[in-house]
A and B are shown apart, each in its own frame.
Chain A
Amino acid sequence: MTYQFDFAVLLPFWREFAMGVWLTLQLSLISTVLGFILGTLCAIGRADGPPWVKFLVATYVEIIRNTPLLVQVFIVYFGIATLGIHVSANLAAVLALVVNVGAYTSEIVRAGLESIHKSQLEAAECLGLSRPQTYWHVIVRPAIERVYPALTSQYVLLMLASSITSQISAEELTAVANRIQSDTFRSFETYIVVGVLYLALSFVVRLAFWLFGLVVFVRRRKLGTAL
């Protein structure tokens, strides 16, 4: 093997790489928040809604979970264009990612909702909590607390999957890398650097979720119990 590695060529591009990291983080954060809201609503709808809502959510989840994200991205991107609305690639990317991760979130949250024991609801009733109060304090929050680790993994995967949106030239880390490698002809080195950046990103995102969990789920920290 006579190949000479040359990472120095990439040094002048550090600003672009940093920008790519920042854009990927933004893209993932927006998709995570919106996807979480969509997924939680879907989970509640499927657990406690009228039959047609249950059916609708179930269909949505099955369709999304059994088709590739790449194709979903294309359908959203071109689908909006077919409607005659012009949106930027980034907006289409966010939409596709939200629709995608919403389905996975709903399945995870549903598992959490199902894990709430019936006796908890009876206890809430005995305490005279109203329905919204029961929902918030007894069902949804404890459920999300329980599935928080699974949600974390899902959102790290979402961050990595956001690389796919480079295929509709949404501006994020992978798209930046594609541009840099075609400028420098140092493809292998570029993707090594990008791979390391994604590794670092997934580490940082995990850390952030862990800290966020510490702040939000105070009760667990105080009591130190599984609940």
Chain B
Amino acid sequence: MPTFTLTHFEFLCWAALWTVGLSAIAFVGGGIVGFLVALARVSPSPVVRGIAIGYIQIVQGTPLLILLFLFYFGIAIVGFKEVPAILSAGLGLTIYASGFLAEIWRGCIESVPKTQWEAAECLSLSRWQRMTKVVLPQAMRIATAPTVGFLVQIVKNTSLASVVGFIELSQAGKLVNNSIFEPFTIFIVVASIYFVLCYPLSTWSRSLERKLNVGRR
């Protein structure tokens, strides 16, 4: 009966790199889409706002697992015979992250004091100028801590990419388990690696919150 060895541990560490990579894809993709949705969410046009609200509601009201399955089978339908796991996993996580980041960032944009908008308007700045020169720089300061906090959610949720066959940390754990069947040990090790990835982010988010003093405004 083979046991858990250093080789297995090394394999898990390599897989952890894929977890980091997938997290980066989800964060960058979700950040871009989420930023656009957040802007749409505070748009003066009720139609644009309505579409953004609908998008956020749908993404936040569907489990990530189902989103991943939908992309996995959806991409196959569009014409790819062999769906690259990174494509469906990356897309699913991007959409998931965009829905939550949009809502976080909307809150940050809206928590910029109203007087700042009004002052910018009095200076006869255009809407675009108001956004980029007055509101967004201040919103960014407020947004930093919760965004880092959400990174933890992204890293943890990449574990679900295992359902579409993407070999990241959780899937690697399952693979190792299939060969030596020591589930308890293996998943404790897997959990520890996730903890090592996530804990610094959590601590960083908390210290940012204190430093930027946004909680006590």
The chain A residue with its CB closest to the CB of B58 is: A199
Provide the residues of chain B in CB contact with A188, threshold 8 Å.
70, 73-74, 76-77
Provide the residues of chain B in CB contact with A166, threshold 8 Å.
65
Contact between A78 and B183, CB atoms less than 8 A apart: yes
Residue A62 is within 8 A (CB to CB) of chain B in the complex = yes
Contact between A67 and B156, CB atoms less than 8 A apart: yes
Residue A128 is within 8 A (CB to CB) of chain B in the complex = no
Contact between B198 and A66, CB atoms less than 8 A apart: yes
Contact between A187 and B73, CB atoms less than 8 A apart: yes
Most A CB atoms within 10 A — which of B76, B160, B170, B191? B191
Contact between B183 and A163, CB atoms less than 8 A apart: no
Provide the residues of chain A in CB contact with B191, threshold 8 Å.
63, 67-68, 71-72, 75
Nearest CB of chain A from residue B190's CB, rounded to whole Å: 5
Provide the residues of chain A in CB contact with B88, threshold 8 Å.
none
Provide the residues of chain A in CB contact with B195, threshold 8 Å.
63, 66-67
Chain B positions 52-69 with a Cβ under 8 Å from a chain A Cβ: 57-58, 60-67, 69
0 or 1 for each of B61-95: is its CB under 8 Å from A? (1 = yes): 11111110110011011110000000000000000
Contact between B77 and A163, CB atoms less than 8 A apart: no
Residue B163 is within 8 A (CB to CB) of chain A in the complex = yes
Please report the C-alpha to C-alpha distance between residue A149 and residue B156 in the assembled complex, in whole angstroms: 24
Chain A positions 5-34 with a Cβ under 8 Å from a chain B Cβ: none
Provide the residues of chain A in CB contact with B64, threshold 8 Å.
160
Compute the total of residue contacts between A and B using a CB distance below 8 Å: 105
Check A71/B62 contact, CB under 8 A, given A66-B199, A79-B184: no
- Total B residues in contact with A, Cβ cutoff 8 Å: 38
Please report the C-alpha to C-alpha distance between residue A164 and residue B68 in the assembled complex, in whole angstroms: 12
Provide the residues of chain A in CB contact with B78, threshold 8 Å.
1, 3
Provide the residues of chain B in CB contact with A203, threshold 8 Å.
61
0 or 1 for each of A183-220: is its CB under 8 Å from B? (1 = yes): 00001100110110011001100000000000000000
Contact between B156 and A198, CB atoms less than 8 A apart: no
Residue B162 is within 8 A (CB to CB) of chain A in the complex = yes
Contact between B63 and A70, CB atoms less than 8 A apart: no
- Total A residues in contact with B, Cβ cutoff 8 Å: 36
Q: Which of B61, B74, B170 meets A71, CB within 8 Å?
A: B170
Provide the residues of chain B in CB contact with A75, threshold 8 Å.
184, 187-188, 191
Please report the C-alpha to C-alpha distance between residue A62 and residue B70 in the assembled complex, in whole angstroms: 32
Residue A129 is within 8 A (CB to CB) of chain B in the complex = no
The chain B residue with its CB closest to the CB of A63 is: B195
Q: Which of B73, B163, B183, B198 meets A67, CB within 8 Å?
A: B198
Chain A positions 158-172 with a Cβ under 8 Å from a chain B Cβ: 160-161, 163-164, 166-167
Provide the residues of chain A in CB contact with B74, threshold 8 Å.
188
Check A71/B63 contact, CB under 8 A, given A1-B78, A66-B198: no
Binding site for A on B (CB under 8 A): 57-58, 60-67, 69-70, 73-74, 76-79, 152, 156-157, 159-160, 162-163, 170, 173, 183-184, 187-188, 190-191, 194-195, 198-199, 202
**A/B interface sample: 5 pairs, CB < 8 A:** A70-B162, A160-B63, A164-B160, A194-B66, A198-B61
